[in-house]
Amino acid sequence: MAVYVDEITDHTHAARLKGLRHTHWSHLTADTRDELHAFAKRLGLKRSWFQNATNHRWHYDVVPSKRALAIRLGAVAIDRYRLAELMAERRSSEPPR
């Protein structure tokens, strides 16, 4: 089992439209939701920050300082292409609706 964090991306445009304080973040995900939530708790993330709970794209957004801490705690640094692959793998393993 593993926890993954992708590269930091500039989301200034989306952040301004939504009135968000942070403009740069990355995505924290894991092989299982339970593992992700346990790791997020270690990072000090609130469960209410969990996103996409009902589909294969579930993750937490993390700011640069939390990304650095996640890596120090053992998260695997990946690029956005690997993140997309992980989420595609999840989608293909979901039961048909």
The model carries a pTM of 0.88
Structure tokens at 22: 């942070």
Please determine, for residue 1, whether its predicted confidence score (pLDDT) is greater than 90: no
Cα dihedral 31, 32, 33, 37 sign:
negative
Q: What is the pLDDT of residues 15-48, one digit of tens each?
A: 888 888 889 999 999 999 999 999 999 999 999 9
Q: Buried (b) or exposed (e) across 49-58, using 16+ Cβ within 10 A?
A: ebeeeeeebb
pLDDT in tens, 49-97: 999 877 889 999 999 999 999 999 999 999 999 999 999 998 887 665 5
Indicate the DSSP class of residue 10.
Answer: E
The pairing of strands 9-10 and 24-30 is antiparallel
Predicted pLDDT of residue 97: 54
Q: In whole angstroms, give the CA distance from residue 68 to residue 75.
A: 9
